[in-house]
Amino acid sequence: MNADLSSIPTPVLIALGVLLLLHLALVVLCLVLLARTSADRLVFGRKWPWVLIVVGVNLIGSVLFLALSRRPCAVEEQMPDTEPAGAERVVRSLYGGDRG
């Protein structure tokens, strides 16, 4: 089957080219995010199903990955900082102790 691209109007070809570039950029973004995400944060617990979904299901696979694949990070509870913050810490280190 030979496709004759000369019969397609130029604005349509440009729009298709832009859409193709956006799709490729989205796939690359998803694969980079997938590579940087640890497996314990992924919904299936493994990376290879998401690679298949992103690459094999075209645009919908990339959107599914961005929307559903990653679990939120666990928030670690931190103890309140007993040290003074910012400028107050610098003043105390330079002049020592409390200056009333």
Q: Which pLDDT tens digits describe the chain residue by residue (100 residues)?
A: 677 878 889 999 999 999 999 999 999 999 999 999 888 888 888 999 999 999 999 889 999 999 998 887 777 766 565 655 677 777 877 887 665 5
Q: CA–CA separation, 24 vs 59, rounded Å?
A: 9
pLDDT of amino acid 32: 95
**What CA–CA distances, in Å, run from 42 to 31, 33, 36, 67, 78?**
13, 11, 11, 12, 25
pTM of structure: 0.65
Of the candidates 70, 65, 66, the residue with the CA atom closest to the CA atom of residue 41? 70
pLDDT of amino acid 79: 59
SS3 of 70, please?
strand
CA atoms 10, 13, 19, 22: torsion sign:
negative
